[in-house]
Chain A
Amino acid sequence: MIPEGSLLVARDLHKAYGPTPALDGAEFSVHPGEVVAVMGPSGSGKSTLLHCLAGIVTPDSGTITYDGRELSSMPDAERSALRRTEFGFVFQFGQLVPELTCVENVALPLRLTGVKRKEAERTALHWMERLEVADLGHKRPGEVSGGQGQRVAVARSLVTSPRVVFADEPTGALDSLNGERVMQLLTEAARSTNAAVVLVTHEARVAAYSDREVVVRDGKSRDMMMEHTV
Chain B
Amino acid sequence: MSRLSDLALGTKFALSGGREGWTRTLLTAVGVGLGVALLLATTAIPGALSKRDARDNARNDFGAGAVSVSSADPLLIGRTDTKFQGKDIRGRLLQPEGPKAPVPPGLSGIPGDREMVVSPELKSLLDSPGGALLRERLPYKVIGTIKDTGLLGPHEMAYYAGSDALAPRLTTEGDGSGVTQVTGFVDKGAQEKIDPVLALLIVIIFVVLLMPVAVFIAAAVRFGGDRRDRRLAALRLVGADRRTTRWIAAGEALAGSALGLVLGAVFFMIARQFVGDISVNGLNVFPADIDPDPLLALAVAVVVPTAAVGVTLLALRGVTIEPLGVVRNSVSRKRRVWWRVLPPLAGLALLVPMAGRGRDNGTFNQVQVVSGTVLLLIGVTALLPWLVEAVVRRLGGGGVGWQLAVRRLQLTSGTAARLVNGIAVAVAGAIALQMMFSAIEGDYVKRSGADTDRAQMSVPMGEIAPERAARQIRALKDTKGVTGTTTLGYANLGEKPKDPDHSTDMTVGGCAELREVAELPSCKDGDVFLARGGEYSGNPIPAGARLYVDPSYSDRRGVALPWTVPANAQEVQARPDPSGYRRNGLLVTPGAVRSVAKAPMRYTTYVRLDPRDRQAADRVLNTATASDPLTAAYSLNAYETSNRFAGVRKGLYIGATAVLLLIGASLLVSTLEQLRDRKKLLSALVAFGTRRTTLSWSVLWQTAVPVALGLALATGVGLALGAVLLRMVGRQIVVDWLPVGAMVGIGAGVVLLVTALSLPSLWKLMRPDGLRTE
Q: Is this pair of chains taken from one and the same complex? A: yes
* Residue of chain A at shortest CB distance from B400: A111
Q: Which residue from A51, A88, A92, A101 sits with its C-beta under 8 Å from B688?
A: A88
CB <8 Å contact, A81 and B689: yes
The residues of B with any CB-CB pair to A shorter than 8 Å are 328-329, 397, 399-400, 403-404, 407-408, 410-412, 680-681, 684-691, 694, 768, 771-774
User: What residues on A are CB-neighbors of B411 within 8 Å?
Assistant: 98-99, 140
0 or 1 for each of A193-217: is its CB under 8 Å from B? (1 = yes): 0000000000000000000000000
When A83-B687, A99-B411 are in contact, do A56 and B772 touch as well, CB less than 8 Å?
no
List 18 A-B pairs, Cβ < 8 Å. Answer: A17-B772, A47-B771, A80-B686, A83-B687, A83-B688, A84-B690, A85-B689, A91-B771, A93-B680, A95-B680, A99-B404, A99-B408, A99-B410, A100-B404, A111-B400, A112-B688, A142-B329, A157-B688
B420 CB to nearest chain A CB (Å): 18
- Could you say which of B399, B686, B691, B773 has the most chain A C-beta atoms within 10 Å of its C-beta? B773
User: What residues on A are CB-neighbors of B400 within 8 Å?
Assistant: 108, 111-112
B41 CB to nearest chain A CB (Å): 39
The residues of A with any CB-CB pair to B shorter than 8 Å are 17, 42-43, 47-48, 51, 54, 56-57, 80-85, 87-89, 91-93, 95, 97-101, 104, 108-109, 111-112, 117, 140, 142-143, 156-157, 168
User: What residues on A are CB-neighbors of B688 within 8 Å?
Assistant: 83-84, 87-89, 108-109, 112, 156-157
- Having A56-B686, A97-B407, one finds 20 other A-B pairs with CB under 8 Å, namely A17-B772, A48-B772, A81-B689, A87-B689, A93-B680, A95-B684, A97-B404, A97-B681, A99-B410, A100-B403, A100-B407, A101-B407, A109-B689, A111-B403, A112-B690, A112-B691, A117-B397, A142-B329, A156-B688, A157-B688
CB <8 Å contact, A83 and B689: yes
A229 CB to nearest chain B CB (Å): 31
* Residue of chain A at shortest CB distance from B327: A142
CB <8 Å contact, A142 and B328: yes
CB <8 Å contact, B689 and A84: yes
User: What residues on A are CB-neighbors of B686 within 8 Å?
Assistant: 56, 80
In whole angstroms, what is the CA distance A43 to B773 when docked?
9
* Residue of chain B at shortest CB distance from A95: B684
8 A-B pairs with least C-beta separation: A84-B689, A95-B684, A83-B689, A99-B407, A99-B408, A56-B768, A99-B411, A80-B689
When A80-B691, A140-B411 are in contact, do A47 and B773 touch as well, CB less than 8 Å?
yes
* Residue of chain B at shortest CB distance from A111: B400
In whole angstroms, what is the CA distance A80 to B771 when docked?
16
In whole angstroms, what is the CA distance A97 to B689 when docked?
14
CB <8 Å contact, A89 and B684: yes
User: What residues on A are CB-neighbors of B689 within 8 Å?
Assistant: 80-85, 87, 109, 112
* Residue of chain B at shortest CB distance from A79: B689
CB <8 Å contact, B768 and A91: no
A42 CB to nearest chain B CB (Å): 6
In whole angstroms, what is the CA distance A82 to B689 when docked?
8
User: What residues on A are CB-neighbors of B684 within 8 Å?
Assistant: 89, 91, 95
User: What residues on A are CB-neighbors of B412 within 8 Å?
Assistant: 99
* Residue of chain B at shortest CB distance from A81: B689
CB <8 Å contact, A51 and B768: yes
B248 CB to nearest chain A CB (Å): 23
In whole angstroms, what is the CA distance A113 to B691 when docked?
10
CB <8 Å contact, A89 and B407: no
In whole angstroms, what is the CA distance A154 to B142 when docked?
84
In whole angstroms, what is the CA distance A48 to B769 when docked?
10
In whole angstroms, what is the CA distance A93 to B678 when docked?
13
When A47-B773, A112-B690 are in contact, do A57 and B681 touch as well, CB less than 8 Å?
no
In whole angstroms, what is the CA distance A60 to B473 when docked?
83
When A91-B684, A93-B680, A140-B411 are in contact, do A47 and B774 touch as well, CB less than 8 Å?
yes
Q: Which residue from B328, B404, B771 sits with its C-beta under 8 Å from A56?
A: B771
CB <8 Å contact, A89 and B687: yes
B4 CB to nearest chain A CB (Å): 34
A158 CB to nearest chain B CB (Å): 12
User: What residues on A are CB-neighbors of B403 within 8 Å?
Assistant: 100, 104, 111, 117
- Could you say which of B399, B407, B408, B689 has the most chain A C-beta atoms within 10 Å of its C-beta? B689
CB <8 Å contact, A97 and B691: no
A190 CB to nearest chain B CB (Å): 16
* Residue of chain B at shortest CB distance from A140: B411
A106 CB to nearest chain B CB (Å): 12
User: What residues on B are CB-neighbors of A48 within 8 Å?
Assistant: 772
A44 CB to nearest chain B CB (Å): 9
User: What residues on A are CB-neighbors of B397 within 8 Å?
Assistant: 117
A72 CB to nearest chain B CB (Å): 14
In whole angstroms, what is the CA distance A57 to B412 when docked?
33
In whole angstroms, what is the CA distance A111 to B771 when docked?
22
User: What residues on B are CB-neighbors of A87 within 8 Å?
Assistant: 688-689
User: What residues on A are CB-neighbors of B694 within 8 Å?
Assistant: 112
User: What residues on B are CB-neighbors of A89 within 8 Å?
Assistant: 684, 687-688
A117 CB to nearest chain B CB (Å): 8
A27 CB to nearest chain B CB (Å): 21
In whole angstroms, what is the CA distance A140 to B774 when docked?
29
B763 CB to nearest chain A CB (Å): 12
In whole angstroms, what is the CA distance A58 to B686 when docked?
14
In whole angstroms, what is the CA distance A101 to B407 when docked?
8
B319 CB to nearest chain A CB (Å): 12
- Could you say which of A42, A85, A97, A143 has the most chain B C-beta atoms within 10 Å of its C-beta? A97
User: What residues on B are CB-neighbors of A42 within 8 Å?
Assistant: 774
B677 CB to nearest chain A CB (Å): 10
When A54-B687, A98-B411, A142-B328 are in contact, do A47 and B681 touch as well, CB less than 8 Å?
no
In whole angstroms, what is the CA distance A138 to B412 when docked?
17
* Residue of chain A at shortest CB distance from B409: A99
User: What residues on B are CB-neighbors of A109 within 8 Å?
Assistant: 688-689
In whole angstroms, what is the CA distance A104 to B411 when docked?
14
CB <8 Å contact, B774 and A95: no
User: What residues on A are CB-neighbors of B680 within 8 Å?
Assistant: 93, 95
In whole angstroms, what is the CA distance A89 to B772 when docked?
14
User: What residues on B are CB-neighbors of A83 within 8 Å?
Assistant: 687-689
Q: Which residue from B410, B691, B771, B774 sits with its C-beta under 8 Å from A43?
A: B774
In whole angstroms, what is the CA distance A43 to B774 when docked?
6
User: What residues on A are CB-neighbors of B772 within 8 Å?
Assistant: 17, 47-48
* Residue of chain B at shortest CB distance from A100: B407
In whole angstroms, what is the CA distance A150 to B404 when docked?
20
A115 CB to nearest chain B CB (Å): 11
User: What residues on B are CB-neighbors of A111 within 8 Å?
Assistant: 399-400, 403
User: What residues on A are CB-neighbors of B329 within 8 Å?
Assistant: 142
In whole angstroms, what is the CA distance A99 to B674 when docked?
13
In whole angstroms, what is the CA distance A91 to B686 when docked?
13
- Could you say which of A43, A84, A112 has the most chain B C-beta atoms within 10 Å of its C-beta? A112
* Residue of chain A at shortest CB distance from B680: A95
In whole angstroms, what is the CA distance A182 to B92 when docked?
91
* Residue of chain A at shortest CB distance from B398: A117
B133 CB to nearest chain A CB (Å): 59
In whole angstroms, what is the CA distance A98 to B412 when docked?
11
A198 CB to nearest chain B CB (Å): 13
B771 CB to nearest chain A CB (Å): 6
CB <8 Å contact, B771 and A51: yes
CB <8 Å contact, A104 and B407: yes
- Could you say which of A85, A95, A104, A143 has the most chain B C-beta atoms within 10 Å of its C-beta? A95
